[in-house]
Structure 1
Amino acid sequence: MGSKYRLLPQLAATFDRLGGTTAVDAFSGSGVVSYLLKAQGFDVVSNDFLGFPTVIARATVANSHVHLTDDLVDAICGPAADDRDFIQSTFDGLYFTREDRAFLDAAWSHIDLLTGPERDLAISALVLSAARKQPRGVFTFTDATRYADGRRDLRMPLREHFRERVAAYNATVFDNGTRHTVVNGDVFDLPTGAPDIVYLDPPYAPPRDDNDYIKRYHFLEGLSVYWRGQTIMHETKTKKLAKRFTPFAYKRTIDDALLRTFEHFRDAGAIVLSYSSNAVPDAARIVELLASVKPEVETIEIGHTYSFGTHAAAARRSVNEYLFVGRDA
C-alpha cells in the first residue's frame, strides 16, 4: 500500500537527471526506491521508522553478496527446531490456517539461529509471504472470507509462499561497488550532511482520519522480530500493536513535519518529495514549504492508480501523484 513500484521509471529519470553519487531514502517502506537508487549506482542510506522495512532494506540494499542456500531453506521449511507456539496461541483463529501459523513458529525456530544477511533474507521472505497470503495485504480485519476470491496467493500454504519469496529475494542480490547504510529510526535523527539526493515519501496525511501504518501492518511488524519488544493490544480483535505516533500521518501536524524535514535536509544537493493529490497539504502549499529551503522548485505531475489489494478485482483509485524537486538556484 503506497508502494512506488509503478512510479519507478519517472523516479529513475529524475534521479538520473539530478546526478550524483550519494542518496538518502528517508522513508524506505517497501524498499523499491532504495533498491532503484542502488541500481543507479548511488551509495544509499535507507531509513524507516518501522522495523520490517529496515529488514527488507538490509536484505536487498545493504546486502551485496549473500544468498539463502537451498539447505537453509529446506531447514526453515522442515520440522521445528524447538516447541515454541507463540504465533499459534496468540493468533489462534486469526489470519491464517492452523498449519500456516505452525509453520511461522517453526520457521522462526530456525531463523533465530541465523545472523547477518541470511537472517535478513529469511525474515524478509517470511514477511512478504504473510503479506501475500493475507487478503488485501493488510491486517485490519479478521474475516478473510470476505475477500476469498480463489486467487493463487490465498490458496498457497505459507511454506510454499516462503520458498518462492526466498527465490525472489535471492535474485535481487547484487553489488554496485559501493557500501550502503540501513537505519531504523526517526527521520529527524538522520545525519544531515550533504547527500546529492534526498528522497522523501512520508505517509500521506488524509483529509479525514489518519494514516496509521501500524494499524495496517502490525502483524508484519511483529513477525519481523517475533514480537520481541512489542506491545500487543490483546483486547483488540486483530491483536494489533500499540500505535506509534508520527506527525506525518495527521492533517493537523503534517505542515510542520514537512517543513522540519525540508529544513533538516537543506544542505542536500536536491530534495525530491513524492506526494498525492488525495492528501493534505495541497501542491501549492508544498511548493511554498519546499521553497523556504530550496529556491528552485519543480513540480512534476504523474497520473497514478493506487491499488488496494493484489488481485485483478482489487479496488483502485485514480489520483495525481506529484514529484516536487527542490534545488539551489
Structure 2
Amino acid sequence: MGSKYKLVPQLAQVFAEIGGTTALDAFSGSGVVSYTLKALGYQVTTNDFLNFPSIIAAATVENQSELLTADEIDAICGDACDDRDFIQSTFDGLYFDADDRAFLDSAWSHIDQLTDAKHALAVSALVLSAARKQPRGVFTFTDLRYDDGRRDLHLSLREHFRERAGDYNAVVFDSRQPSRARCGEVSAIEGEFDVVYLDPPYAPPRDDNCYIKRYHFLEGLSVYWRGQQIMQQTKTKKLAKKYTPFSYKRTVAQALRETFKQFKDSTIVLSYSSNAVPDAATIEAAMREVKGSVEVRQMDHRYSFGTHPAAQRRTVSEYLFIGR
C-alpha cells in the first residue's frame, strides 16, 4: 500500500502546527500516520474500507497496553487445535509451500481463541508475515519469479510470525488518550474532529487503483476468508473487487468534493500524488469550495513496487493540501 513512512516527519510537523486534540485518519492503510497522530497525543479515530488495515490499527493505535505473551506466541507456533485445512485446500500450490500453508491454518486455530487487542496483534503479525514472505509483497502472481535471495523469502511463515509478533509487541504504548479503529466507508463516519487526514487511493490516468487485486490474500487472511467472495475461476483465487469511487478517474473528483464537504468543520490535510487524477489545481479548487484558506505544499517522494531494496522506484511529487 502507499505507505507514508518516509513522509512522517513532514506530516508530523504539519499536525503539530495545526494542533487540536482529536484526529481522524480516514484511509489508514499501513497505519503509520494514525500511529504518528497517536504519538503526538491526539485522540485518534482510524478508518479503512478493507479489513486488514483496520485490524492493524486496532493492534497499534486503539490498543494501549495488551501484548502477546511468550506462551501465546508459542501456542500459535505449535501444534494445531483442530483439523481445519481451508487455506491448504483452497490455495494448494499457490504462494507458499505446503508447510507454510499448514501453519496458516494451524495459527488460525489458536487465533480464533483470542479476543480484542490480542486477536488484532496476532492477526496483524500473521498478515505481515505473509506480506514479507511473498515476493514484492503483492499477490498478483503465484510463483517465486521475483526471488532475489532475500532472507524474508526463505524464512518459514512460522519463523516470520515469531519475529513479527515481537515487532508488533514492541510498538504498543499507552498514549493516555482513547483511540478507536473502524472499518467502513468514509461517508459513514460520524463525529467531530479537529484534524482530518485524507490519503485516499490515488486514481491513475488509466485503469483503476484496486488494492484488492494486489492484497486480496492479506484481506482474506485477516478474517480467515469469512464473509469474503473468492473468485474461484481466477488463477490467483482473488477476492471480488470492493468498489470505492476514489479509485476511478471518472468518480474521484466528486468523491473528494463530497468528502471535503463532510468534514468542512475540521482542518483537512489531504495527501495526493502528481501522477494521479485529478490534478493539483482541481483538488485545490474543490477544497476552496468549503475552506477559506488552502495551502499547498509539494514534496518529492519515491514510491516503490514491492518491499525489497532493489524494488523499482518512481520519483513523483507528493502534494499536501491543508484546508483551514
TM-score (norm. length: structure 1): 0.98
**What is the alpha-carbon distance in structure 2 between the residues aligned to residue 159 and residue 37 of structure 1?**
32
Which residue in the other structure is 1:117 paired with?
A: 117
Q: Which amino acid aligns with 2:313?
A: R
Which residue in the other structure is 2:71 paired with?
A: 71
Deviations 1:161-185 (A, max 9, x none): 1011001100111111111111101
Q: Secondary structure in 1 aligned to 2:174?
A: coil
Q: How does 1:235-314 map to 2 (within 5 A)?
A: 235-268=233-266, 270-314=267-311
Instruction: Please report how far the alpha carbon of residue 192 of structure 1 lies from its aligned counterpart in structure 2 after TM superposition.
Output: 4.4
Task: Report if the CA contact (8 A) 1:192-1:267 is conserved.
Answer: no
Which residue in the other structure is 1:37 paired with?
A: 37
**What is the alpha-carbon distance in structure 1 between the residues aligned to residue 289 and residue 160 of structure 2?**
48
Q: Which amino acid aligns with 1:172?
A: V
**What is the alpha-carbon distance in structure 2 between the residues aligned to residue 315 and residue 218 of structure 1?**
22
Q: Secondary structure in 2 aligned to 1:216?
A: helix
Equivalenced residue count is: 324
Deviations 1:56-99 (A, max 9, x none): 00000010010000000000000101000000000000001111
**What is the alpha-carbon distance in structure 1 between the residues aligned to residue 222 and residue 255 of structure 2?**
28
Which residue in the other structure is 2:163 paired with?
A: 164
Deviations 1:135-186 (A, max 9, x none): 1111111122x10111011011000110110011001111111111111010
Deviations 1:2-46 (A, max 9, x none): 001110000000000001111000000000100000000000000
**What is the alpha-carbon distance in structure 1 between the residues aligned to residue 55 and residue 323 of structure 2?**
30
Task: Report if the CA contact (8 A) 1:21-1:43 is conserved.
Answer: yes
**What is the alpha-carbon distance in structure 2 between the residues aligned to residue 137 and residue 67 of structure 1?**
26
Which residue in the other structure is 1:179 paired with?
A: 178
Which residue in the other structure is 1:21 paired with?
A: 21
Q: Which amino acid aligns with 2:179?
A: H
Task: Report if the CA contact (8 A) 1:27-1:202 is conserved.
Answer: yes
Q: Secondary structure in 1 aligned to 2:226?
A: coil
**What is the alpha-carbon distance in structure 2 between the residues aligned to residue 167 and residue 3 of structure 1?**
21
Q: Which amino acid aligns with 1:260?
A: E
Q: Which amino acid aligns with 2:323?
A: G
Which residue in the other structure is 2:128 paired with?
A: 128
**What is the alpha-carbon distance in structure 1 between the residues aligned to residue 136 and residue 275 of structure 2?**
20
Q: Which moved more, 1:305-314 or 1:223-232?
A: 305-314
Instruction: Please report how far the alpha carbon of residue 196 of structure 1 lies from its aligned counterpart in structure 2 after TM superposition.
Output: 1.1
**What is the alpha-carbon distance in structure 1 between the residues aligned to residue 224 and residue 265 of structure 2?**
39
Which residue in the other structure is 1:233 paired with?
A: 231
Q: How does 1:183-194 map to 2 (within 5 A)?
A: 183-193=182-192
Q: Secondary structure in 2 aligned to 1:321?
A: strand
Which residue in the other structure is 1:102 paired with?
A: 102
Q: Could you list the runs of 4 or more consecutive aligned residues of structure 1 that deviate by over 2 angstroms after TM superposition?
A: none
Instruction: Give unmatched runs, 5+ long, in structure 1.
Output: none
Root-mean-square deviation over aligned CA pairs: 0.6
Residue number among 213, 216, 222 corresponding to 1:215 in the alignment: 213
**What is the alpha-carbon distance in structure 2 between the residues aligned to residue 321 and residue 286 of structure 1?**
13
TM-score (norm. length: structure 2): 0.99
Task: Report if the CA contact (8 A) 1:192-1:264 is conserved.
Answer: no
Which residue in the other structure is 1:88 paired with?
A: 88
Q: Secondary structure in 2 aligned to 1:100?
A: helix
**What is the alpha-carbon distance in structure 1 between the residues aligned to residue 304 and residue 217 of structure 2?**
20
1:58 and 2:55 aligned: no
**What is the alpha-carbon distance in structure 2 between the residues aligned to residue 191 and residue 263 of structure 1?**
13
**What is the alpha-carbon distance in structure 2 between the residues aligned to residue 182 and residue 294 of structure 1?**
27
Instruction: Please report how far the alpha carbon of residue 296 of structure 1 lies from its aligned counterpart in structure 2 after TM superposition.
Output: 0.4
Instruction: Please report how far the alpha carbon of residue 130 of structure 1 lies from its aligned counterpart in structure 2 after TM superposition.
Output: 0.3
Q: How does 1:192-203 map to 2 (within 5 A)?
A: 192-193=191-192, 195-203=193-201
Q: Secondary structure in 2 aligned to 1:141?
A: coil
Task: Report if the CA contact (8 A) 1:192-1:265 is conserved.
Answer: no
Q: Which amino acid aligns with 1:49?
A: F
Q: Secondary structure in 2 aligned to 1:41?
A: coil
Instruction: Please report how far the alpha carbon of residue 206 of structure 1 lies from its aligned counterpart in structure 2 after TM superposition.
Output: 0.1
Q: Which amino acid aligns with 2:199?
A: D
**What is the alpha-carbon distance in structure 1 between the residues aligned to residue 79 and residue 45 of structure 2?**
38
Q: Secondary structure in 2 aligned to 1:147?
A: coil
**What is the alpha-carbon distance in structure 1 between the residues aligned to residue 138 and residue 244 of structure 2?**
19
Q: Secondary structure in 2 aligned to 1:320?
A: strand
**What is the alpha-carbon distance in structure 2 between the residues aligned to residue 83 and residue 164 of structure 1?**
25
